[in-house]
Structure 1
Amino acid sequence: MSGFLFVVPPLTGHINPAAGVAAELAARGHRVAWACADPGLVRRLAGEEAVVFPCDGPVPGSGEGVRPPEIRGPEALKFLWERFLVPLADEMAPGVRAAVQEFGPDVVVADQQALAGALVAEHLGVPWATSATTSAEFTDVLAGMPKVAEWLDAVLHGLRERIGAPSGPGAADPRFSPHLVLAFSTPELVGPGARTGDRIRWVGPSVAARPAPSDFPWDWLDPARSTVLVTLGTANTDVGARFLRECLDALRARADRLQAVIADPAGVLGAADDDRDDDKDVLILPAVPQLPLLERVDAVVCHAGHNTVCEALWHGVPLVVAPIRDDQPVVAAQVADAGAGVRVRFGRADAARLGAAIDAVLDEPGYRAAAGRIRTAFRAAGGAGAAASQLERLAATGGTTPEESA
């Protein structure tokens, strides 16, 4: 039996994939614990019985971490690092160090955005694996921005000097473990330019059962019409109102041939829908059981969040993607380049453009065929089970590969 400490940021999309792997390891008899700045969120997603070591850290979407919606491109990247990722690493580090010392893991599993996990583990001499819950880092998006790449290198160097081992020839990039990188996607989606290496393992999405609303009206779904799911995730309520209203208009205009489920956690569509209590065309809910619903839908409209994209393609469902920020433009480009969906511009998407994109992914068979090819690749990669097996091997070898220990 080995011990695994998962170090994660307080972000749903980063905890969910790790939760599937943690559950698989626990089912195999291993000790599992977590370190996070939001223990309650971990327990909601991974189970109330989860052992969570609390850490300090900023809460996304509040205080100085609130990002002005007009920020895009390199400025958005800089904001993300300076206002969230760097403070998160600095503030989490003492809690992660205490968790490692108390729990005594054989392996630390550090999310790419929970940099304290990697730096503390390396400093304490504990083997660590990277949990890469988005594939954006596996394409060289900064190749054409050398000054941004240089700035980011300096940021990482500063973090290492403050909370990690001193920099040196053997120092690793804390986003990429020298022992094991679990990439929760496959090259079939990421594309031919996907980063490769001896330690990178493309395990596909970690899709596992998780808590979901139990009161979804399944009998509302009409099998005679196509069903479209619209979701912008849980972190985009500050900018999503206009987009959701345009989606609503586009979907109502097609009610003769489709129906839609819209996730509206902030209730921005309430006023627009007050007079349709018995609506048979559009169902608007604050939360939806996304995984079981994806088994029943024909298309997804989303923000190109990595989790939503991978979960849709895991079910072979084509997408309309409207990226907003962070890694979403990269993921959206992956979907479009793979032929599994249509990309639209979030800020300019109106009912006409959205309607045309929805029509395309529903009516043109090439999109569904491409989504089906990725579905096959995802399932062959092994998901949470494959990731758990890789972590078991790392624990057994103590940070060396079988080739190195032979």
Structure 2
Amino acid sequence: MANILVAATPVSGHHGPLLRIASHLSSAGHEVVFLGGARFADDVRAAGPGFRALPPEADYDDRDFSARFPERAGVPAGPAQTMWDVMHVFGDPTPHQHRALQEALAGFPATAVLYDNLFFGGVALSLGDAPDRRPATYSVGISPLGVESRDTAPHVLGLLPPVDDAQRAEYAAIAARMAEQRAPLVGHLRSCFAAAGVTLPEGPLGRTLTDSADFFLQLTVPGFEYPRSDQPTGVRFVGAIPIPATVGQEPPAWWPELERARAAGRRIVVTTQGTLANTDLDRLVVPTVRALADREDVLVVAATGRPDAAERVAAHLDAVPGNAIVAGFVPFADLLPLTDLLVTNGGYGGTQAALAHGVPLVVGGDSEDKPEVAARVEWIGSGVNLRTGDPSDDRLRAAVDTVLGTASYRERAAALAKEYAAHDALALIEGMVTDTGRH
């Protein structure tokens, strides 16, 4: 059995996959310690691993970003906000995360350390010592692979791969301009890593972050990611982390309505804005409910991920349509097998889960990594990319009609589901991190 330290940024979309990995490793008999946000302590202990809290300088509650990062609200969504997030949400905690990892390792001699790909304290640990003087390190890719490549567009813009030399030249010019614009970001990160006693190497940032760990475990299948002829050798596609099944819980009160709709041959359309960008439900969830209000052949499930779901949605609608269910937290492991279409803002984990169940998508998101997720959905032909985070009702209605009425979207999603089924992500990760040799 192995000693394994798992570390996660205190954001739900980062914490969740890392905790499911840690729980699997713990249930397999390995000694596991989880370093994460204090608000997740009870969940971690209930899942099996031991728990250590991040220091206050590296901890915050992602349910209220404005409390810790008040300036963020003034940064426009898109590349500017992504750059701000990398600098401050993920960059500033670097020395404190690094110190927390070292302190944890001093009392828990782990043979392997796993961390999400934006837990920069883990990157500092990987860079700070030669591989034979530290535990094996594994960065877990919980967002689209961001390594620069001659075969892809500049990352974060949501552009499809180049199709000819002219477009490659165009993208190269865009990348050069972006490099100039990112100079403050790189300089800021250098100071963050220097505060941890580590030098951030020269070269493209995405490649440095991917190459620093011994292995980079991307939580998807090759079919969802752009092919790169110059892909780093340490990248491994391990598949999607399965959504945990609900055990010992009663189904929601509205579940019989869902089953009746399925039995009657109605299509089930689920809409969600995930766990982070779900404060303003009038961006995607409410417009989807409104756009499909007259569709008798459809039942819409608004999965808001919020305890105040009814109040939030009611604030934007005169009344909830008769063909819609407004829900807070839903049992996605049970819901996705019954779903015909997911309308989503493009959260990485939720998109992987939908495709693993063969569910096609309509994607409309403009924050964090969501444009890149939407572009990949478009590229693989498993859904419609709305190319906006604020689609109109008409645009949503047309996109839903297109996906439900065109067999190729579901066929492509079904083909991807077979690829996901061929990857047992948790078993693959366990096999890698418990192997004492560096493969």
TM-score interval w.r.t. the shorter chain?
Answer: 0.7 to 0.9
Are the counterparts in 2 of residues 110 and 130 from structure 1 also a CA contact under 8 Å?
yes
**Aligned equivalents of 1:324, 1:167: Cα separation in 2:** 29
Gaps of 5+ in 2: 156-171
**Aligned equivalents of 1:210, 1:176: Cα separation in 2:** 34
Q: 1:163 matched to which residue of 2?
A: 196
Higher mean C-alpha deviation, range 62-71 or range 290-299: 62-71
Q: Which amino acid aligns with 2:140?
A: S
Change (3 A) 1:380 1:43: farther
Q: Which amino acid aligns with 2:83?
A: K
Are the counterparts in 2 of residues 138 and 194 from structure 1 also a CA contact under 8 Å?
no
Are the counterparts in 2 of residues 108 and 118 from structure 1 also a CA contact under 8 Å?
no
1:241 counterpart SS class: coil
Q: Which amino acid aligns with 1:218?
A: W
Are the counterparts in 2 of residues 131 and 182 from structure 1 also a CA contact under 8 Å?
yes
Query: TM-score by structure 1 length?
Result: 0.88
**Aligned equivalents of 2:288, 2:334: Cα separation in 1:** 22
Change (3 A) 1:18 1:210: farther
1:28-54: per-residue Cα shift (whole Å, max 9, x none)? 321111111x23326436735431111
Residue 367 of structure 1: how far off its partner (Å):
0.3
**Aligned equivalents of 1:113, 1:305: Cα separation in 2:** 15
Q: 2:123 matched to which residue of 1?
A: 118
Higher mean C-alpha deviation, range 123-132 or range 281-290: 123-132
Change (3 A) 1:45 1:360: farther
1:97 aligned onto 2:102: yes
**Aligned equivalents of 2:292, 2:148: Cα separation in 1:** 34
Are the counterparts in 1 of residues 95 and 193 from structure 2 also a CA contact under 8 Å?
no
Q: 2:214 matched to which residue of 1?
A: 179
1:146-187: per-residue Cα shift (whole Å, max 9, x none)? 224544443443233211434679x99344334111011122
Residue 11 of structure 1: how far off its partner (Å):
1.5
**Aligned with residue 75 of structure 1, among 80, 88, 103:** 80
1:127 aligned onto 2:136: yes
Q: 1:65 matched to which residue of 2?
A: 69
Q: 1:260 matched to which residue of 2?
A: 300
1:361 aligned onto 2:403: yes
**Aligned equivalents of 1:104, 1:244: Cα separation in 2:** 46
**Aligned with residue 333 of structure 2, among 259, 268, 291:** 291
Change (3 A) 1:230 1:69: farther
2:190 counterpart SS class: helix
Higher mean C-alpha deviation, range 359-368 or range 211-220: 211-220
1:209 counterpart SS class: coil
**Aligned equivalents of 1:45, 1:210: Cα separation in 2:** 17
Q: 2:236 matched to which residue of 1?
A: 201
1:238 aligned onto 2:279: yes
1:54 aligned onto 2:46: no
- Aligned Cα RMSD in Å? 2.7
**Aligned equivalents of 2:232, 2:81: Cα separation in 1:** 29
1:49-68: per-residue Cα shift (whole Å, max 9, x none)? 43111112242313352432
Residue 246 of structure 1: how far off its partner (Å):
1.3
Change (3 A) 1:49 1:100: same
Are the counterparts in 1 of residues 190 and 199 from structure 2 also a CA contact under 8 Å?
no
Residue 110 of structure 1: how far off its partner (Å):
1.6
Q: Which amino acid aligns with 2:281?
A: G
**Aligned equivalents of 1:309, 1:194: Cα separation in 2:** 25
Residue 248 of structure 1: how far off its partner (Å):
1.3
Are the counterparts in 1 of residues 293 and 323 from structure 2 also a CA contact under 8 Å?
yes
Q: Which amino acid aligns with 2:330?
A: V
1:358-401: per-residue Cα shift (whole Å, max 9, x none)? 111111000001111211122223222112112122xx12xx33
List aligned pairs for 1:7-406, cutoff 5 A.
7-36=7-36, 38-41=37-40, 43-44=42-43, 47-56=46-55, 57-59=58-60, 60=62, 61-66=65-70, 67-68=72-73, 71-120=76-125, 122-123=127-128, 125-138=134-147, 140=149, 141-142=154-155, 144=175, 145-166=178-199, 173-193=208-228, 196-209=231-244, 214-216=250-252, 217-221=254-258, 222-223=261-262, 224-254=265-295, 256-264=296-304, 265=306, 266-267=308-309, 268-271=312-315, 281-393=323-435, 396-397=436-437, 400-401=438-439
Change (3 A) 1:388 1:148: farther
Residue 199 of structure 1: how far off its partner (Å):
1.3
1:233 counterpart SS class: coil
Residue 71 of structure 1: how far off its partner (Å):
0.7
Residue 139 of structure 1: how far off its partner (Å):
5.4
Change (3 A) 1:126 1:45: closer
**Aligned equivalents of 1:288, 1:208: Cα separation in 2:** 12
Q: Which amino acid aligns with 1:62?
A: S
Are the counterparts in 2 of residues 191 and 338 from structure 1 also a CA contact under 8 Å?
no
Change (3 A) 1:165 1:10: same
Q: Which amino acid aligns with 1:257?
A: D
**Aligned equivalents of 1:101, 1:353: Cα separation in 2:** 55
Are the counterparts in 2 of residues 187 and 194 from structure 1 also a CA contact under 8 Å?
no
Are the counterparts in 2 of residues 45 and 211 from structure 1 also a CA contact under 8 Å?
no
Q: Which amino acid aligns with 2:137?
A: W
Gaps of 5+ in 1: 402-406
Identity of aligned residues (%): 22
2:93 counterpart SS class: helix
Query: TM-score by structure 2 length?
Result: 0.82
Are the counterparts in 1 of residues 354 and 360 from structure 2 also a CA contact under 8 Å?
yes
**Aligned equivalents of 1:123, 1:226: Cα separation in 2:** 53
1:257-285: per-residue Cα shift (whole Å, max 9, x none)? 11011023253113456855xx7521101
Question: Number of residue pairs matched?
Answer: 393
